[in-house]
Structure 1
Amino acid sequence: MSETRTYYYARVSTKKQSLDRQLEAFHQLGAEEKYIFADKQSGKNLERTNYQILRNNILRSGDTLVIKSLDRLSRNKLDIKSELEYYKQYGIRVKVIDMPTTMINLEGQEWIIEMVNNIIIEVLSSVAEQERQETRKRQAEGIASARKRGQHLGRQEIDFPPNWFEVYIRWKKKEIRANTAMEILNLKRTTFYKLVNKYEQEDKWNIILMMFDYSSYR
C-alpha cells in the first residue's frame, strides 16, 4: 500500500497580497515546504495553476488536503461544494483550519469525518441556493426599478435608416453591391447584415411582393 501524505494549499487573490498568515498556520501544523502549494490568483473559479496540479496530479486516495479556510478553494459556494464532493468521492480528506471539527484526528471513526463532510456540503448547497435566489431577486428589483424610470435595459435597438427600403430593394435586385449599399446607408458591415436579417424576418412576405413591383416605389 502506498504511503499517504498531507498536502497544504494557500491562495490569495492578487500578487500584492501576502500568503504569510496561511503559511504560518501550515508551519505550526508541521508542514514541510515541499508539500505546500500556493497560488496568487482570484478565487472566482478553479482555474489556478498550482491548485490544478495538486488536485489532478498529486493528491491520491488516502491523502489529506489542508487549507486555512473554505474560501481558499474558491469564492463560489457551488465550486466549493463540488470540490468537497470530488475529494469525498476519491477518498481524500479535507481539513479546514478555521473549522476545528474538520481537524480532529479520528482514526477508526471515519463515519464521523463523513458525517461532518456531508453537513458542510449540505450547508454549502443551501447557502449557494440562497445566494442564487437573492441575486435573482436583486436583478428583478433592478429591472423593475429601471423600467419605472423609463430606462431601456439590454442592447439598444438599431433603427433602420430613412432610405433603408429603397437601398435594400436595389441591393436585393442586384442593382448595387453590398458595399455600395453600406456606403449609401452609412452603416458598418455587421450592422447592415443585422438589419437585413431583422427586416427579412419581420417583413418577408412584403419583400417578395416588393421585388416584383419595385418600380411603383421609386
Structure 2
Amino acid sequence: MENRIFGYVRVSTREQNEDRQLIALREFEQPIQRIYMDKLSGKDFNRPAYRRMMRALHQGDLLVVKSIDRLGRNYDEILDQWRIITKEKRAEIVVLDMPLLDTRGGRDLTGTLIADIVLQLLSYVAQTERENIRQRQAEGIAAARARGVRLGRPPKPVPPHFFSVRDLWLTHQISSREAARQVGVAQDTFLRWAREKKEPGAPICKKQ
C-alpha cells in the first residue's frame, strides 16, 4: 500500500475558525491526501474524526498537525497517542509549529532525546493552558454571580392559568401528570411550581 499523508485539524467549538490550520496544512511541502477535522474540546481523544483517522493510519503514513495542542490538551493522553502512532502503528508525525517534532527519517540518539523532551514539555504546556482556561472561566462565573448576574437560561414563565390548574390538582380533580399537560410543562416542573409559586394575595397550601 502506498504511503499516504493525513492532516488533522481541531477547534474547540463550532464558532471557532479552522482556516488558519487548514492554510498551514495546504502549504505543507507535500500534498495532503485527506484532512480530518473535529470541532470538539481537546480534553480527550474520544473524537469521531480523530478515531476515523486512527483507523485509517497505517505503517509508513504521515500525520501532519499545525501544533501539538491541536492534537489534544491532556498531557498523559498526548504522550500515549504519540507512542501509539509512532511505535505501534509505525507511522510518522510532523508538528508544523515545532520543527523538532518531526519523526520522518532516521534520528540519532541525541535528536530522539531532544524530540522526546520537547514533546513532553509542549504536552505539559497544552494541559496547563487548558486548566488555566477552566480556572479563568470558573473565576469569571463566580465574579458574575457576586455581581448578581443571572447565568444560564432564564426561568420558564408561569402561565396565567397555572393557579386554577393547581387548584384542580390540590382538590384531587386531576392528576399531576394531567395538570402538567394543561400547563405545558414537565411533571417535575409543575410539582416544583406547586410547592414554590404563591398566588398574589393568597397563601399556598401544599398537598400532602
* Partner SS, residue 6 of structure 2: strand
In the other structure, the counterpart of 2:191 is 196
Q: Please give the alpha-carbon distance, in whole angstroms, between the structure 2 residues aligned to 1:16 and 1:126.
A: 23
1:86 aligns with 2:65: no
Conserved in 2, the CA contact under 8 Å of 1:44 and 1:76? no
The Cα of 1:16 is off from its aligned counterpart by 8.1
The Cα of 1:99 is off from its aligned counterpart by 2.1
198 and 119 in structure 1: CA distance in 2 versus 1, 3 angstrom threshold: farther
Structure 2 unpaired stretches of 5+:
11-16, 42-46, 197-204
Higher share in helix: 1
1:56 aligns with 2:55: yes
Match runs of 1:1-218 below 5 Å: 6-10=3-7, 22-27=25-30, 36-39=33-36, 41-44=37-40, 46-48=47-49, 52-60=51-59, 63-70=60-67, 74=70, 76-78=72-74, 82-89=77-84, 91=87, 92=90, 93-103=92-102, 105-107=105-107, 109=109, 112-113=111-112, 116-117=115-116, 119-148=118-147, 150-157=148-155, 167-168=165-166, 170-176=168-174, 181=179, 187-190=183-186, 193-197=188-192, 199=194, 206-208=206-208
- CA deviation digits over 1:16-68, x for unaligned, max 9? 889575345232xxx6x7xx3224x45535432xx5444113324xx352415
Q: Percent identity?
A: 12
Structure 1 unpaired stretches of 5+:
209-218
TM-score, structure 1 as length reference: 0.57
- CA deviation digits over 1:84-115, x for unaligned, max 9? 52231351342224422233743563x84365
156 and 19 in structure 1: CA distance in 2 versus 1, 3 angstrom threshold: closer
User: CA RMSD of the aligned region, Å?
Assistant: 4.5
The one-letter code matched in structure 2 to 1:47 is: P
25 and 143 in structure 1: CA distance in 2 versus 1, 3 angstrom threshold: same
Conserved in 1, the CA contact under 8 Å of 2:8 and 2:63? no
128 and 142 in structure 1: CA distance in 2 versus 1, 3 angstrom threshold: same
TM-score, structure 2 as length reference: 0.59
Q: Please give the alpha-carbon distance, in whole angstroms, between the structure 1 residues aligned to 2:173 and 2:65.
A: 71
Q: Please give the alpha-carbon distance, in whole angstroms, between the structure 2 residues aligned to 1:70 and 1:18.
A: 9
The Cα of 1:175 is off from its aligned counterpart by 1.5
Query: Which has the higher Rg, Structure 1 or Structure 2?
Result: 1
The Cα of 1:194 is off from its aligned counterpart by 0.7
Q: Please give the alpha-carbon distance, in whole angstroms, between the structure 1 residues aligned to 2:172 and 2:57.
A: 65
- CA deviation digits over 1:105-137, x for unaligned, max 9? 43563x843652353134323332233223322
- CA deviation digits over 1:142-191, x for unaligned, max 9? 4414532x3222343457678867743532553135587458xx73132x
